[in-house]
Amino acid sequence: MSAPTAILFFSRTASAEAQAKAFGPRGERVAAALIRRTERTLARAGLPVYRSDERQQLEDRDFGGKLSAAVADVFARGHAHVIVVSNDCPRLNVAAIRQATRTLEAGRHVVGPDTRGGAWLIGLRADTFDPHTFAALNWQSPAVAEELLLHLQDCTQLTCRTDYNELRELRADWHQLATHLPTLAFLFLVPTAFASWNTPPPQLAGMPHARAPRSPTRPVAHLASLSRRPFIP
């Protein structure tokens, strides 16, 4: 019997994410750190986790079509609720996932808006999910959070959080992000480049202490890839 609630981790691979976002010459390492941070958080949530990236998605669909098909695929596996997250909100935590789970199981949808007008978390119910309408929302625009709140009936809005698409944005908030992304400290402490990824950067006065990174090979509990089976509306 499937768990009532599952998580859909909708994210590009690190290489594809680096090409799509302005993370600088070491963009793939930045994207990989954001992905690992999200995977560790999801592993602690105690829910089934499904991963959807460009390797499983059909190339002829736009963003909304790919996301809608991935959500429908998770529902097809027997789950009554799906929590959708991506990799660009390092402040995503287990408490927010558990709040979303409780809200969904109480019969309400969930939207966590971000500071660009998008969403860092979306909680959906199988009994009200319309894949065509969901796919047609104005995705990747500053209007999508507002559209989701209008589209989803009985919706609870979570606290607005920041997502990160550029290196300069991470640098601007580094004093708040250092403990979430310690392996990126070499990008934000001077000197700005170090001999290797594993070389610890110097500690600067006034900067938060970055904890030693966990092993990047740590497995994510319940992590599973979605099949390549096309979604048939």
| pLDDT tens per residue across span 162-185 | 988 888 888 888 888 888 888 888
Q: What pLDDT does 211 receive?
A: 47
Q: What is the mean pLDDT of residues 129-135?
A: 96
Q: What pLDDT does 1 receive?
A: 64
Q: What pLDDT does 94 receive?
A: 97
Longest Cα pair distance anywhere in the chain, in angstroms?
A: 57
Q: What pLDDT does 55 receive?
A: 82
| pLDDT tens per residue across span 27-77 | 899 889 899 999 999 999 999 999 998 887 767 689 999 999 999 999 999
Check if the beta carbon of residue 21 is closer than 8 Å to that of residue 33.
no
Check if the beta carbon of residue 41 is closer than 8 Å to that of residue 11.
no
Q: What pLDDT does 36 receive?
A: 93
**Residue matched to tokens 């001077």:** 190
Percent residues over pLDDT 70 in the chain? 79
Q: What is the mean pLDDT of the chain?
A: 82
Q: What pLDDT does 98 receive?
A: 97
User: Between 168 and 215, where is the model more confident?
Assistant: 168
Q: Cβ atoms within 10 A of the Cβ of 63, count? A: 14
| pLDDT tens per residue across span 63-110 | 999 999 999 999 999 999 999 999 989 999 999 999 999 999 999 999
The predicted model scores a pTM of: 0.80
Judge residue 43's burial from the number of C-beta atoms within 10 Å of its C-beta, 0-12 exposed, 13-18 middle, 19 or more buried: middle
Q: How many residues are listed for the chain in this entry?
A: 233
User: Between 155 and 24, where is the model more confident?
Assistant: 155
Q: Is the pLDDT of residue 223 over 70?
A: no
User: Between 186 and 233, where is the model more confident?
Assistant: 186
Six-digit token pair at 50?
């499904």
Domain made up of 5-163: CATH architecture: Alpha-Beta Complex (3.90)
- Spatial distance between the Cα atoms of 8 and 194, rounded to a whole number of angstroms: 35
Q: Is the pLDDT of residue 126 over 70?
A: yes
Confidence of residue 225 (pLDDT cuts 50, 70, 90): low
Q: What pLDDT does 111 receive?
A: 97
- Spatial distance between the Cα atoms of 84 and 68, rounded to a whole number of angstroms: 11
- Spatial distance between the Cα atoms of 56 and 34, rounded to a whole number of angstroms: 20
Q: What is the 3-state secondary structure (H, E, C) of the chain?
A: CCCCEEEEEECCCHHHHHHHCECCCCHHHHHHHHHHHHHHHHHHCCCCEEEECCCCCCCCCCHHHHHHHHHHHHHHCCCCEEEEECCCCCCCCHHHHHHHHHHHHCCCEEEEEECCCCEEEEEEEHHHCCHHHHHCCCCCCCCHHHHHHHHCCCEEECCCECCCCEHHHHHHCHHHHCCCCHHHHHHHCCCCCCCCCCCCCCCCCCCCCCCCCCCCCCCCCCEEECCCCCCCC
Q: Is the pLDDT of residue 146 over 90?
A: yes
Q: What pLDDT does 97 receive?
A: 98
